[in-house]
Structure 1
Amino acid sequence: MNDIFDAIQKSAIRIKDAIDVKDIGYSQKENSSGETQLELDIKCDMIIEEEFSRVSCINTIASEEKEHAETLHEDGRYFIAYDPLDGSSLVDVNLSVGSIFGIYDRAFGADKMVAACYVVYGPRVEMVFAQNKTKLHLLQAGEFEFVKEICLKEKGKLNAPGGTQQNWEPYHKALVDSFFAEGYRLRYSGGMVPDLHQILLKGGGIFSYPATSDKPHGKLRRLFEVFPFAFIYEKAGGDATNGHKDLMTLDYAHVHDTSPCFFGSKYEIKKVKEVYAQNE
């Protein structure tokens, strides 16, 4: 696992350099979702694959930018699903973006997850790595240094509602509004990594990306985004659900399967489950 952690750190440093200097224009290629890829997306994907190819314990990788998983080392133990640059469309307006990694033991699946990690590229480059606990690291002088363990409070103050409101179910809109009525503050940048990072470091709150009329199965991908953040939040003392089931109990059929998802402190997730149970 230390070799994987080191490879992620090396990737993050290289990606930070690429963000600082790389042309962010569009390429002529499309990703697995049919979206035209930024040159920066392709560069970051290549960086991570290069670093992981040097780690013999990594068997298979799956990237948000590739249609299929790829085998690196047949004798390796770990399977890693990653989003090279989540929120990359925010780079040209200089908002924070990030990389997400889900680390699985011998096969993909929430029940096989043994660690998860994400990196935030903002005013500072920070890394959150969860295995037994959720820990924050800061990039300083070319190295990541441990800062602290992250622990969520029972109840938070931030509300980050994703998805286009006109496509929400009425009961979901009522749920979001109820948090605002309790005094929660809106915090939504359009980037999953910075928004969830803010909730973690500020002690709690709720991030939601529900099923919508245009995305009935959710938008965010299970292996690359949903499972890793569910793992991270649970190790930090929070919870994660799709509205009806805990996210870490879900299965997957294809590497790009999606799911509605809610991440937060225990109070907020309990309230989500109550509202959704009434509307099954």
Structure 2
Amino acid sequence: MQDIIKAIEEASIKIKELIETGDTGKSEQENSTGDTQLKLDIASDVIIEDIFKTIPSIKAIVSEEQEEIVSLNEDGEYLIAYDPLDGSSLVDVNLSVGSIYGIYKGGFDAKSIIASVYVVFGPRVEMVVAIDDVKMYRLKKGKFEFIQNIVLEEKGKLNAPGSTQNCWAPYHKELIDDIFNDGYRLRYSGGMVPDLHQILLKGGGLFSYPGTTDRPKGKLRQLFEVFPFAYTYEKANGQAVDGFKRALEVETTHIHDTTPCFFGSNTEINRVLEVYKKNG
């Protein structure tokens, strides 16, 4: 596992340099979910794949930017699903973005995830590794140094409501409104990685990306985004659900499947489950 963490560190340093100097324009390509790929997406994907190809313990990888699973080493032990540069459209306005990695063993599905890593590229570069617990590292003078363990409080103060509001179910809108009426503060940048990172570091709250009338199965991808962060939040003593059950109990039928998702501390997630059970 440590060789994979080191590979992610190496890729992150290269992606940091790419963000600082690379072309933020659009390419002429789309990914498998129909999003126009930025040149930064493609270049970041190449950086990560090239480094992973050198790691004998990795059996296969799949990127959010590619259609198919890429086999690497027949005798490898680990499978990795990753989003090379989540929120890349925010780079040109100088907001934080990130990379997300789910490390799996045995199959690309929720029950097979054994670790997760994400990296935030902001004013500082920080890497959060979840295996048995959740540890944060910060890039200092070319090396990642351990900073702290991350543990969520039982109840938080932040609310990050994602997706298009006019497509929300009425009961979801009422839930979000009630949370704000209870004094929670809005924190939403449009970047999944920095928003979820903020909730983790500030003690708790709720990040939601529900199913909507235009996207009943949500927008966020299971293998590359939802499962890795679900694993992180659970290891940080929080929860992640699809509205009705644990996110890590959601079934995967295709590598690019999406799902509604809610991440947060226990008080907020229990509130979501209560509302969705009553109305779902």
- Name the TM tier (shorter chain): over 0.9
Unaligned 5+ residue runs, structure 1? none
Aligned to 1:247: 247
Aligned residues: 280
Deviation of 1:27 after TM superposition, in Å, equals 1.2
Question: How far apart are the structure 2 equivalents of 1:188 and 1:109?
Answer: 28
Question: How far apart are the structure 2 equivalents of 1:38 and 1:276?
Answer: 36
Aligned to 1:57: 57
Superimposed CA distance per residue, residues 52-106 of structure 1 (whole angstroms, 9 cap, x where no aligned partner): 0010000110100001111011110100000000000000000000000000012
Question: How far apart are the structure 2 equivalents of 1:252 and 1:236?
Answer: 24
Check whether the contact 1:78–1:103 (CA below 8 A) recurs between aligned residues: yes
Aligned to 2:140: 140
Aligned to 2:173: 173
Question: Percent same amino acid among aligned pairs?
Answer: 61
Question: How far apart are the structure 2 equivalents of 1:6 and 1:123?
Answer: 22
Aligned ranges 1:219-238 → 2 under 5 Å = 219-238=219-238
Question: How far apart are the structure 1 equivalents of 2:26 and 2:248?
Answer: 35
Aligned to 1:274: 274
- Aligned-residue CA RMSD (Å): 0.6
- What amino acid sits opposite 1:214 in the alignment? D
Deviation of 1:113 after TM superposition, in Å, equals 0.7
Aligned to 1:18: 18
Check whether the contact 1:156–1:204 (CA below 8 A) recurs between aligned residues: yes
Aligned to 1:66: 66
Check whether the contact 1:78–1:107 (CA below 8 A) recurs between aligned residues: no
Q: In structure 2, the residue corresponding to 1:278 is in which secondary structure?
A: helix
Superimposed CA distance per residue, residues 22-58 of structure 1 (whole angstroms, 9 cap, x where no aligned partner): 0111112111112221111000000000110010000
Question: How far apart are the structure 1 equivalents of 2:251 and 2:168?
Answer: 24
Question: How far apart are the structure 2 equivalents of 1:47 and 1:106?
Answer: 25
Unaligned 5+ residue runs, structure 2? none
Check whether the contact 1:210–1:261 (CA below 8 A) recurs between aligned residues: yes
Question: How far apart are the structure 1 equivalents of 2:27 and 2:279?
Answer: 43
Question: How far apart are the structure 2 equivalents of 1:250 and 1:259?
Answer: 8
Aligned to 1:157: 157
- What amino acid sits opposite 2:55 in the alignment? V
Aligned to 2:130: 130
Question: How far apart are the structure 2 equivalents of 1:273 and 1:31?
Answer: 32
Check whether the contact 1:226–1:247 (CA below 8 A) recurs between aligned residues: yes
Question: How far apart are the structure 2 equivalents of 1:28 and 1:10?
Answer: 28
Superimposed CA distance per residue, residues 117-175 of structure 1 (whole angstroms, 9 cap, x where no aligned partner): 10000000000000000111000010000111000000000000000100000000000
Aligned ranges 1:66-215 → 2 under 5 Å = 66-215=66-215
Question: How far apart are the structure 2 equivalents of 1:100 and 1:71?
Answer: 19
Superimposed CA distance per residue, residues 211-270 of structure 1 (whole angstroms, 9 cap, x where no aligned partner): 001100010000000000000000000001000011011110100000000000000000
Question: How far apart are the structure 2 equivalents of 1:268 and 1:34?
Answer: 32
Return the TM-score normalized by structure 1: 0.99
Question: How far apart are the structure 2 equivalents of 1:238 and 1:131?
Answer: 15
